[in-house]
Amino acid sequence: CCFSRGEKNAGFDVLYHNMKHGQLATKELAEFVRERAAIEETYSKSMSKLAKMASNGSPQGTFAPMWDVFRVSSDKLALCHLELMRKMNDLIRDINKYGEEQVKIHRKTKEEMVGTVEAVQALQVQSGHLQKSKEGYHAKCLELDRLRKEGAPQKELEKAELKSKKAAESFGLCIEKYNRVGGEFEQKMSESAQKFQDIEEAHLRQMKQLIKGYSHSIEDTHVQVGQVHEEFKQNVENIGIDNLIQKFAEQKGTGKERPALAGFEEYMTALAPEGGKKSRAKAFRIPGLGKRDKEPDST
Amino acid sequence: CCFSRGEKNAGFDVLYHNMKHGQLATKELAEFVRERAAIEETYSKSMSKLAKMASNGSPQGTFAPMWDVFRVSSDKLALCHLELMRKMNDLIRDINKYGEEQVKIHRKTKEEMVGTVEAVQALQVQSGHLQKSKEGYHAKCLELDRLRKEGAPQKELEKAELKSKKAAESFGLCIEKYNRVGGEFEQKMSESAQKFQDIEEAHLRQMKQLIKGYSHSIEDTHVQVGQVHEEFKQNVENIGIDNLIQKFAEQKGTGKERPALAGFEEYMTALAPEGGKKSRAKAFRIPGLGKRDKEPDST
């Protein structure tokens, strides 16, 4: 057992207040976790906003598909931190539940320790008596000493000796009573100290368990966030530059040689040889002018 | 090469605007990273606030030393995210620097492509002429057909045939010119398309490099945050419950058997046997009453 009556027997008060401080610690832990939950909620909302920003990224240009990678990643990060917020809120419920149990335990403990409180009070009262008795005996001894040094008459000395002896007897009784009361206090206090220590150990065990919950939730989120980052990196790598350019070219129709003009067939047959003469025409031919264009056009 | 003249020869405009959109993409990336930096700054500040909250945790009670673990961890998290903000700000500088280079490249490219722009315009003009010429030839052919069906006089037919032949010749010349202009356009456009593609590839390579910087910074911070969490977990584990209780007992003086009262020696020697009698006195003795207390007291 680590706890004992303490300096000037004030241990009971110290230990009792420490126990009550346990309630404050529980409350403060809940507040701390609540603040953390609020921080995560804000972060999550900001990430959602960032995702919206990415989704508003210009749909024009070759870079456009990249914004989707940013959007997805930011949205997932928002979800991770929202889940952490939820876990923190669950934890706050657990902490508050423990706080209520704690109040009950402390109330019960206070009732059980009424005897110790009485013993403490009795010791304090007896301690006062002892002090007074000591001072009385002290005064009588000094008086006797003085008379002896002054060579006072025998009768006076005998009277003073009697007074001193009576004061010594009274002081002796006082010490006896003080020791009896002290013994009782010692026993009660020792029981209470053990009880306080048991409560304290259980309290700290519970608090550490709650902190472990806090720690685990944060760790889980950390792993998830790591996965989101890894995915982001992979997605960025997977979107090749050639890919982006090809995609853009296909969308904008700048990637295929399309007919520049069309619909001349009807009246152009007579002029066919004209178009066929040009050497450049192969590279830039008007459809319907060359023989190769007579084949059915795939549009 | 992926890029070409595109549908209705509008490819140049599409590709030119895509190039210019590259500037928008750079700007938007900078804005995105700026927003992320702001988010990290807010998170960092919130974590500092949380650390302050932990440092304001009650210094009373056995739980008190735990708050230091929370404080240190929150402070370190604040630093991690502050560093990420700084790295994001560095990245924004890089992005802006690239944006400036990009503007210069685009300006130079525009100058170099004046010939292509002229070729595009010439083709458009010639395309209009070709259309008109075709319609003229078309009308003449219809007229000739009509006269033939109506059995018009030979003279009228000959006149119409001559007109049709002239329209055909004019149309033929138009096609020839169109093909010549088209050929030139094709060549210029093909050079520009290649140039656009080179620019686009370099742009996307640069953008991916910048995104890699973003990704690396986030990854570094993620690793650091993981270390802070690990440290937190270890610190919580290292602070044993017995340890907390012992620390508290030592601080509050409830852990050592201290003298309840003192200073009786001078006048108590005569009463020494009285105090020695009590069996309880051993557990709860007043110092100076027993022989064992004559030893120098270590206070």
Two tokens at A185? 């206090």
Residue A88: which residues within 8 A CB-CB, separation 6 or more? A33, A34, A36, A37, A40, A214, A217
Q: What is the dihedral of CA B36, B42, B44, B50, to 10 degrees?
A: -150
ipTM associated with this complex = 0.77
> Helices A64-112 and A241-252 sit at what angle, rounded to 10 degrees?
120
Q: A69 to chain B: nearest residue by CA?
A: B211
Best residue in A69, A179, A220 to probe B by mutation, most B CBs within 10 Å?
A179
Tell me how close the Cα of A273 comes to any Cα of chain B, in angstroms.
10
Better-predicted residue by pLDDT, A57 or B260: A57
> Helices A241-252 and B154-238 sit at what angle, rounded to 10 degrees?
140
CB contact under 8 A, A201 and B241: yes
CATH number of B7-123+185-248: 1.20.1270.60
Euclidean distance between CA atoms B52 and B47, whole angstroms: 9
Residue recorded with tokens 């008007």: A286
Q: HSE-up of B114 (CA within 13 Å, CB side)?
A: 4
Q: Going from the first residue of chain A to its last (299 residues), give the mean pLDDT of each consecutive group of 10, the final group possibly shorter.
A: 62 86 96 98 98 94 93 98 98 98 96 92 90 91 90 90 90 89 87 91 96 97 97 94 87 57 39 36 38 39
Euclidean distance between CA atoms B105 and B99, whole angstroms: 10
Euclidean distance between CA atoms B137 and B132, whole angstroms: 9
Question: CA B275 → CA A8, A178, B47, B163, B283, distances in Å?
Answer: 19, 11, 61, 149, 12
- CB-CB neighbors (< 8 A) of B264 in chain A: 134
Residue A26: which residues within 8 A CB-CB, separation 6 or more? A95, A98, A99, A102, A207
- CB-CB neighbors (< 8 A) of B176 in chain A: 274, 278
What is the pLDDT confidence band of residue B251, given thresholds at 50, 70 and 90? confident
Q: A57 to chain B: nearest residue by CA?
A: B28
Tell me how close the Cα of B96 comes to any Cα of chain A, in angstroms.
17
Euclidean distance between CA atoms A140 and A168, whole angstroms: 9
Question: Whose CA is closest to A283, among B7, B117, B11, B179?
Answer: B179
What burial letters (b/e) apply to A7-44, b meaning 16+ CB within 10 Å? Answer: bebebbebbbebbebbbebbebbbebbbbbbebbbbbb
Residue A183 is predicted with a pLDDT of 86
Percent of chain B whose predicted confidence (pLDDT) is above 70: 81
The single-letter code of the amino acid at A262 is A
* B206 has pLDDT over 90: yes
Question: Whose CA is closest to A65, among A239, A237, A230, A231?
Answer: A239
In sequence order, what E strands does A6-165 have? none
Mean pLDDT over B30-54 rounds to: 98
Among A281-285, B119-123, B152-156, the least confident range: A281-285
Residue A48 is predicted with a pLDDT of 98
CB contact under 8 A, A253 and B58: no
Residue B249 is predicted with a pLDDT of 83
Two tokens at A110? 């206070």
Among candidates B21, B215, B222 on the partner chain, residue whose Cβ is nearest the Cβ of A58:
B21
For A58, the 3-state DSSP assignment is coil
Q: Where are the domains of chain B?
A: 7-123+185-248, 258-294
Two tokens at B267? 């006048």
Number of other residues whose CB lies within 10 A of the CB of residue A59 = 11
- CB-CB neighbors (< 8 A) of A164 in chain B: none
Across the A:B interface, residue pairs with CB atoms under 8 Å apart total 306
| φ, ψ of residue B239 in degrees (nearest 5) | -80, 95
Among candidates A14, A35, A200 on the partner chain, residue whose Cβ is nearest the Cβ of B50:
A35
- B262 touches A7 (CB < 8 A): no
Q: What is the dihedral of CA B169, B175, B178, B180, to 10 degrees?
A: -90
Question: Whose CA is closest to B74, among B220, B211, B225?
Answer: B225
Mean pLDDT over B276-292 rounds to: 37
**Under CATH, what is the fold of the domain A7-128+185-248?**
Substrate Binding Domain Of Dnak; Chain:A; Domain 2 (1.20.1270)
Euclidean distance between CA atoms A216 and B159, whole angstroms: 98
Q: What is the dihedral of CA A270, A276, A280, A282, to 10 degrees?
A: 110
Question: CA A125 → CA A118, B91, B263, distances in Å?
Answer: 11, 75, 19
Residue A5 is predicted with a pLDDT of 60
Q: B130 to chain A: nearest residue by CA?
A: A261
